[in-house]
Amino acid sequence: MKQNNYNPLRINVGFLLYESVGTSRKFEFDEPAVQIGDDLDIFDLQGSVTFTRTAQGLYAHGTLSASTPLECVRCLSDFQQALSIEISELFEYPPKKETDPILAILETGILDLTGLCRELMLLELPIQSICSQDCQGLCPICGNPLNEGQCEHPEANIDPRLAVLRTLLKES
């Protein structure tokens, strides 16, 4: 993905910091592609996050959805994995020394949701990505994708010492 300076997850919330407690503002997201780290590109980012002024900073609550390209562990085909995260965090302003940098609002009034979204979306990624529940994987003999059809293979030559085991399989 092409790197540029525009990041839709960097939001100017400085005006909310000077509002009274309880003031809210909703931010909508509709982006075709966003790079949220060197290891994660997301596409079709959709959703909204509402920021509410509190005495400690800004409380963010909302839902974001996107997709990311992955490779199926069964058939090795590329597919788009849907991701959906819920944000429910307090961003501190002014930040204290012990405040997590991801949850701090800078003096400039710019809030960067990139780090938080990256963490939450990485947690949403499956350990073993599968393109569909009924994926049949690859043929163990020729390596062709079984999703495209069954393979026709001649019966493999069996070591004569193990031929007795083959008869056990045919009996059951």
- Digits of tens for pLDDT over the chain (172 positions)? 445 567 899 999 999 999 999 999 999 999 999 999 888 999 999 999 999 999 999 999 999 999 999 999 999 999 999 999 999 999 998 888 888 888 888 888 999 999 999 999 999 999 999 999 999 999 888 888 888 888 887 766 777 787 777 777 676 5
Alpha-carbon span 97 to 74, nearest angstrom = 47
Picking from 63, 58, 67, the residue whose alpha carbon sits closest to that of residue 131 is 67
Dist CA 23 CA 53 (whole Å): 5
pTM for this model (two decimals):
0.79
The pLDDT value given to residue 94: 84
State residue 69's pLDDT score. 96
| Cβ count near 44 (within 10 Å) | 15
Q: What's 19's DSSP letter?
A: S
pLDDT for the residue 117: 95
Strand partners, 75: none
Nearest of 161, 157, 160 to residue 141 by alpha carbon = 157
pLDDT at position 42:
95
To which residue do tokens 């003096």 refer? 107
pLDDT at 156: 66
Per-residue pLDDT, 171: 67
Specify the pLDDT at position 101. 85
